[in-house]
Structure 1
Amino acid sequence: MYHWFHIFPKNTGLSLYAWIAFCILPFYFIIRSSTLYEIIIGITMLMLFFTIYRLSFVKQGWTVYVALSIEMVISIGMTIYFGYVYFALFIAFFIGNVKSKSGFISLYVVHLSTTVIAFAVGFIFQYDVFIAQLPFNVLGLLGVILLPFTIYHRNRREELESQLKDANERISQLMVMEERQRIARDLHDTLGQKLSLIGLKSDLASKLLSTKPDLAKQELDDINQTSRTALSEVREIVSNMRTARLEDEMVRVQELLRFSQIECDISGEHTLDQLPLLIEDVFCMCLRESVTNVVKHSQSSTCQIQLSNLAEEWRMVVQDDGIGIKPETPTDTKSGIKGMKERLEFVNGKLEVHSNQGTEVMIRIPRIIHQTEGGHE
């Protein structure tokens, strides 16, 4: 359910001013009545309707159905005696926000039936009034028929999108946990055995050092060779982790673009194989965010990704042929661009965004050369 301050429905195809008019118009229909008694009754029904309508957003359980029943009775009375049918639209909006499918169908059928009957009876007793505003009354009936389903399915879609987002976040967390476990297994299998062997041979060498120095020297040589082997294996693990990351990110973005029916063209994908870990991490984040923006906002049919390994910098360009970025909105406020700039600041990188017949995002990270006193790298 919405909160009580959402008394004016949103995203229903009508502007806020139309709903405000629906709140003010009842006074006209009531005041035009001929007797003071009818005016008092009408204003009382009007205030009672909006009070109960507001409370129905904060109540739960059976009290909601009681409130809706009273609102329907008031709507019927306003339709028959004053020719005002638009309270039915407020009730239709509320019914569309009922989450229970059975409750939604029951309330929808009851509300539609009572509205049609009240309209028919009101047409008999208030013939001149109904004929004068017949087009608006017909539109009101169409709103009663269509509005609940529109609101119900929109809320259902938003709920499913939220569940999908939560599921994707959970999958991402599980993938991180799985990767950590894999790294832990690799390190255990690589370093665990080697360190245990080094420890045993160190103890043995210390015992043989005074009595059999030749054997002690042989054990120390074995320790040296074992440590070098362990170091080589650790470097291989780190190297595999490093080279797989950007490659895996490329595979992910290609799959994302393919499922979004966007043609993907990648050039120079093997030019950045030997990146430092921090630089590679920044490139992965920027690539992921840029392609996500292409899918979500660009409405493009093609996406080009170009990687370059230049003498002075590493460069990545993501370009699409979509609608571009609206000029009235500052670039830094766009989705993810501020985050990319903040990440690039850690490596002295720069982000350039150009929007002309599509959008081009260029990520540039300079090579940092540490020089010795002699001027060599």
Structure 2
Amino acid sequence: MQNWYHIIPKNTGISSYVWIIFCLLPFFFIFRSSSVIEITVGIFVILLFFLSYRLSFISNSKLVYLWVSIEMSISIVMTILFGYVYFSLFLAFFIGNIANKAGFLSLYIVHLTTTIAATVIIFFTNNESLFPQLPFIFVCVLGVALLPFTIRYRNKQHRLEEQLENANEKISQLMVIEERERIARDLHDTLGQKLSMIGLKSDLARKLIPVKPEAAINEIHDIRQTARTALKEVREMVSNMRGAKVEDELLRVQQLLSAAEMEFRFEGKQALDHTPLLVENVLSMCLKEAVTNIVKHSNATWCRVIIKQSLNEVFIQVEDNGEGMPKGASSFKGNGLQGMRERLEFVNGSLEIQSNNGTILNIRVPNVVQQNEQEGSV
């Protein structure tokens, strides 16, 4: 489905209001004519141009070149008869969106040549009336020369960014799959042999109880020792699967902001004291998500992170001086905010958002240090 900006070009470095003026100006040039026939023909030509311009965007075949040819002809007629050269900017924008390199270069050369030729002709035939708009005509011809390449390279950059984003998503998925397979292999290697041994020794002990009770007791002791060994190995394996710590995440945040040319400001203590690994992992993920949103969406120049740990709670504040959240937007929809709230709710935490001349995210999680210390003393 095509959008409105296929008529009024978007992201060309020129305001949409200027393009609206370009759409309305041809009527002013036409109504300067005294002949009713000239006015009627001029209005018909304008409507035909915009119809062809629209069809050139929605056509997916060789008809595109037909519509562009009609648009070029209309642009030349409007330039020579009425002195209106600004249709050439619409054509320059469309030519920049042509993906085929041969088609792009062909249309670019033809359009630039015909525009310059038509401009030279009207200077020799109608110089006095065009003298007031001479600077605008010069800018228009310069736009015809530069705008197609600007649009083409911008579109290419957008495609590369999309491909890079898709590649990063695939890499993340592959990393998750690889981690799952690694965990499965470790569990198999750690528990597979031990559980098989426990099963065999259990069967042997059951058979020995009526015949040799002492031998059965020895087998039961072996089963117990094997189970303890397996439990120890599982605990060691789980302890090696360490989650992300806030202190380590702050280093990555600083690197990310530095790459985005944003100033990083920090207040508080980086390392959390006696915080459970699950809680710290959740806080690290929320911090990462918050800063990633700032880099992607805020257009900020600095980001400040404040970390405070009290007896009652762990408090993290992430602030920026960017554009803030759109008015009327839900506080917890979009940009991963819903996922952040769900993670925090899992550890009885909360998320608050303030958006005014920037955005402030307040993350609070109950502190369980005292409870852990009491459990450890029992």
Pair 1:9–1:360, CA change in 2 (3 A): closer
**What residue ranges of structure 1 are gaps of 5+ in the alignment?**
none
Pair 1:132–1:251, CA change in 2 (3 A): closer
Partner of 1:49 in structure 2? Answer: 49
Contact residue 4 and residue 55 of structure 1 kept, 8 A = no
Which is further off, 190-199 or 22-31? 22-31
Distance in 2, matches of 1:30 and 1:325, equals 43
Distance in 2, matches of 1:257 and 1:34, equals 63
1:347 and 2:347 equivalent? yes
Distance in 2, matches of 1:99 and 1:167, equals 22
1:110-125 aligned at under 5 Å gives the runs: 110-125=110-125
Partner of 1:97 in structure 2? Answer: 97
1:282 and 2:285 equivalent? no
Distance in 2, matches of 1:216 and 1:247, equals 53
Pair 1:20–1:358, CA change in 2 (3 A): closer
Contact residue 4 and residue 58 of structure 1 kept, 8 A = no
Partner of 2:148 in structure 1? Answer: 148
TM-superposed deviation, 1:115: 0.3
Distance in 1, matches of 2:205 and 2:244, equals 40
Partner of 1:237 in structure 2? Answer: 237
Contact residue 314 and residue 366 of structure 1 kept, 8 A = yes
Distance in 1, matches of 2:44 and 2:173, equals 57
Letter in 1 for 2:70: I
Distance in 1, matches of 2:354 and 2:25, equals 50
Distance in 2, matches of 1:32 and 1:325, equals 45
Partner of 1:187 in structure 2? Answer: 187
TM-superposed deviation, 1:5: 6.3
TM-superposed deviation, 1:85: 0.7
| CA deviation map 1:114-139 (0-9, x unaligned) | 10001111222222321232222222
Which is further off, 352-361 or 293-302? 352-361
Query: What CA RMSD, in Å, does the superposition of the two structures yield over aligned residues?
Result: 3.4
TM-superposed deviation, 1:101: 2.9
Letter in 1 for 2:179: E
Letter in 1 for 2:198: I
TM-superposed deviation, 1:263: 5.5
SS at match of 1:57: helix
Partner of 2:167 in structure 1? Answer: 167
SS at match of 2:57: coil
Which is further off, 33-42 or 223-232? 33-42
| CA deviation map 1:331-368 (0-9, x unaligned) | 93785445433432333213356789987644221146
1:61-140 aligned at under 5 Å gives the runs: 61-140=61-140
Partner of 2:321 in structure 1? Answer: 323
Which is further off, 263-272 or 48-57? 263-272
Which is further off, 10-19 or 242-251? 242-251
Pair 1:214–1:257, CA change in 2 (3 A): farther
- What TM-score, normalized by structure 2, do the two folds share? 0.84
| CA deviation map 1:137-162 (0-9, x unaligned) | 22222221222222222222211111
- The number of residues matched between the two structures is 369
SS at match of 2:241: helix
Distance in 2, matches of 1:266 and 1:226, equals 50
TM-superposed deviation, 1:274: 5.2
Distance in 2, matches of 1:266 and 1:232, equals 40
Contact residue 202 and residue 223 of structure 1 kept, 8 A = yes
TM-superposed deviation, 1:328: 8.2
Contact residue 349 and residue 365 of structure 1 kept, 8 A = yes
Pair 1:254–1:19, CA change in 2 (3 A): closer
| CA deviation map 1:154-197 (0-9, x unaligned) | 22221111111111111111111111111111111111111111
Which is further off, 170-179 or 14-23? 14-23
- What TM-score, normalized by structure 1, do the two folds share? 0.84
TM-superposed deviation, 1:59: 0.6
Pair 1:66–1:291, CA change in 2 (3 A): same
SS at match of 1:85: coil
Which is further off, 92-101 or 32-41? 32-41
| CA deviation map 1:250-300 (0-9, x unaligned) | 5643543454455686975553565153x2442132121123245443644
1:226 and 2:222 equivalent? no
Partner of 1:16 in structure 2? Answer: 16
TM-superposed deviation, 1:68: 0.7
Distance in 1, matches of 2:328 and 2:67, equals 47
Partner of 2:215 in structure 1? Answer: 215
Contact residue 324 and residue 358 of structure 2 kept, 8 A = no
Contact residue 92 and residue 148 of structure 1 kept, 8 A = yes
Contact residue 93 and residue 148 of structure 1 kept, 8 A = yes
Pair 1:307–1:241, CA change in 2 (3 A): farther
TM-superposed deviation, 1:27: 2.2
TM-superposed deviation, 1:64: 0.8
